[in-house]
Structure 1
Amino acid sequence: MAAREVLQVILSLGVALLLAACAAAYADTVNFTYSGANGPAMWGSLCPQYRLCSEGKRQSPINIVNADAEYNPKLIRLRRNYRACSNATLLDNHCNIALRYDEDVGYVVVEGKKYSLLQMHWHSPSEHTIDGERFPVELHLVHKSVDGNITVVAVLYQFGRADPLLIQLKDKMAELKKEVLAGDEQARVPVGVVKMRSLKQHTRKYYRYVGSLSTPPCTENVVWNVLGEARKMSRRQAAELQAPLKEAYRRNARPAQALNGRVVQVYDESRSQ
């Protein structure tokens, strides 16, 4: 066999192995569901990388009990500085719908550290509950610091007037659904300009605690900031967030996890005056 042919065989094998590896990794990210044999109670046993989902002691989400939340006068107003994005992508993550930012769109400051906004995604119904109350939708804004730490700002939604952010995404959401129905398993839709003003609206109250990612691999030491005032979106918008997803992922809320001695702190502007 000529050297050139040998090289082609090696390259072909390399590509085949790479594709196999990618396929395996892809399978690992979607083999969990929200009910049945691969539901939340079984996540920790699906693969070794998911073990924290069952063994971790600081897992998310949680039920926030107002009577037990400790007011911390040292907490300060949640400082969010987001700007309009001109390069975002709407995608079907299989377990949720996400908006990924492909440029620097701003940050949140938590305990003096700056965390850059990477992406946001939605859960229906809400994952966090307050005094046992579950909300129709919860938005997670995922941020990361330069040293690799993660903080999430969680926004709870009630039904009401249309949400300004989702109004901007309406046509793109329909396009994403169309691509998914056409058989695209990794559908992605370029969005273009997204105005972020509504996401940096002043918050008078929030809860903070240390938890985890709420989907596998359930990585811990995530700082959560759950806004205490529910916002509004229409029922139609909530349905549009579910529409591109497969049936098994349309209700994609992980059950509340045990506190295991953790303390939930609360910032309350009305008590700091």
Structure 2
Amino acid sequence: MSPSRLLFLLAAANAVALVLLPAAGAEEDEFGYIPGTPRGPENWGSLKPEWATCGGGRMQSPINLRLPDLTLAPRLGYLNYTYHQNSNASVVNRGHDIQVRFDGDAGGLVINGTAYRLRQLHWHTPSEHAVDGRRYDMELHMVHVDARSQAAVVGVLYTVGSRDEFLHKLEPYIIEIANQKGKEKMVNGGVDPNVAKGQDTVYYRYMGSLTTPPCTEGVIWTVVSKVHTVSLSQLALLKEAVVDGNENNTRPLQEVNRRSIALFLPLTLLNT
């Protein structure tokens, strides 16, 4: 084969490859948060057969935690959790949110005698759950899983104010992976989930679902009553770090459908 013929074939092959390769940034997220778009929340249930629960489920999350729907449940007891102070973790940009993934045993909590291990945590801006119709500026989800892969999630609400110390330690890592879907960085020295959870004892409890596809139901939700604070710059960082279109990564409120919503108050508070 002549050199000129070989060069022609190589050039043709390169041209075909350029046509077949996706353009930079052209990859589309599997789901999105912008209402009225093909991949918006109202369409999640029809995007994939395995996501049908997002559209037809009767125990979906998040919900509005309304005072008239609450039942006092002092017998639920204090949250029984034990987290490890220096847990190995990586900060991951999932495109639709920023996640802290625990790469070992970070501890966990016990609910009704069942142990749930902490697997990951992530943030939503603004909050997904509402309290008496009010949505807050941010919500942290601490995702736990038991031996049967059943989930229990602790939700923590935030309003703009003083900086959040847990998030403050992670800021350099979030900056490094900002706007880079799939990028991750290991946290030097690990993280302390106890700082994220805080020490509040009052909480809401109900049965719901994951708030992203596949919207699996049977999730035990614990939403901490005390509202924490996050600085305006920290909130802006989380919004800027995700892929465009996910700055407001909050699912619309779902119907309660007569579900029981419990409020745990210690007996000492009930008797005062």
On whether the aligned pair clears a TM of 0.5, the verdict is: yes
Cα 1:185–1:246 shift into 2, 3 Å: closer
Q: Distance in 2 between matches of 1:70 and 1:89?
A: 38
Kindly indicate whether the alpha-carbon contact (under 8 Å) linking 1:82 and 1:200 is maintained by their aligned counterparts in 2. no
Q: Distance in 1 between matches of 2:196 and 2:138?
A: 15
Query: Is residue 222 of structure 2 the alignment partner of residue 225 of structure 1?
Result: yes
Which residue pairs with 1:7 in the alignment?
A: none
Query: Is residue 251 of structure 2 the alignment partner of residue 254 of structure 1?
Result: yes
**Structure 1 unaligned spans of 5+:** 1-26
Runs of 4+ with >3 A deviation: none
Which residue pairs with 2:109 in the alignment?
A: 108
Q: Distance in 2 between matches of 1:130 and 1:228?
A: 9
Q: Distance in 1 between matches of 2:96 and 2:196?
A: 23
Q: Distance in 1 between matches of 2:62 and 2:207?
A: 10
Shift of 1:163: 0.6
Q: Distance in 1 between matches of 2:31 and 2:121?
A: 20
Shift of 1:229: 1.0
Shift of 1:126: 0.4
Q: Within 5 A, what are the aligned runs for 1:94-105? A: 94-105=95-106
Q: Distance in 2 between matches of 1:34 and 1:99?
A: 21
Which residue pairs with 1:3 in the alignment?
A: none
Which residue pairs with 2:86 in the alignment?
A: 85
**Structure 2 unaligned spans of 5+:** 1-26
Which residue pairs with 2:22 in the alignment?
A: none
Kindly indicate whether the alpha-carbon contact (under 8 Å) linking 2:96 and 2:242 is maintained by their aligned counterparts in 1. yes
Which residue pairs with 2:33 in the alignment?
A: 34
Kindly indicate whether the alpha-carbon contact (under 8 Å) linking 1:125 and 1:251 is maintained by their aligned counterparts in 2. yes
Stretch moving more, 54-63 or 83-92: 83-92
Secondary structure of the residue aligned to 1:237 is helix
241, 254, 271: which is aligned to 1:244?
241
Shift of 1:172: 0.8
Q: Distance in 2 between matches of 1:164 and 1:196?
A: 11
Which residue pairs with 2:136 in the alignment?
A: 135
186, 207, 210: which is aligned to 1:190?
186
Which residue pairs with 1:202 in the alignment?
A: 199
In terms of fraction of residues, the more helix-rich structure is 1
Q: Distance in 1 between matches of 2:231 and 2:160?
A: 5
Name the TM-score, length of structure 1 as normaliser: 0.84
CA RMSD between the two structures: 1.6
**How many residues were matched structurally?**
241
Q: Within 5 A, what are the aligned runs for 1:15-164? A: 30-35=29-34, 36-164=37-165
Task: Give the letter for the 2:181 counterpart.
Answer: E
Structure with the greater alpha carbon radius of gyration: 2
Secondary structure of the residue aligned to 2:229 is strand
Secondary structure of the residue aligned to 1:74 is helix
Shift of 1:73: 2.4
Q: Distance in 1 between matches of 2:60 and 2:124?
A: 17
Secondary structure of the residue aligned to 2:176 is helix
Task: Give the letter for the 2:196 counterpart.
Answer: L
Task: Give the letter for the 2:255 counterpart.
Answer: A
Task: Give the letter for the 1:190 counterpart.
Answer: M
Shift of 1:174: 1.1
Which residue pairs with 2:13 in the alignment?
A: none
Shift of 1:52: 0.2
Shift of 1:200: 4.3
Name the TM-score, length of structure 2 as normaliser: 0.85
Stretch moving more, 78-87 or 99-108: 78-87
Cα distance per residue 1:115-142 (max 9 Å; x no partner): 0000000000000000000000000000
Kindly indicate whether the alpha-carbon contact (under 8 Å) linking 2:91 and 2:101 is maintained by their aligned counterparts in 1. yes
Which residue pairs with 2:7 in the alignment?
A: none
Stretch moving more, 231-240 or 194-203: 194-203
Shift of 1:34: 0.7
Which residue pairs with 1:16 in the alignment?
A: none
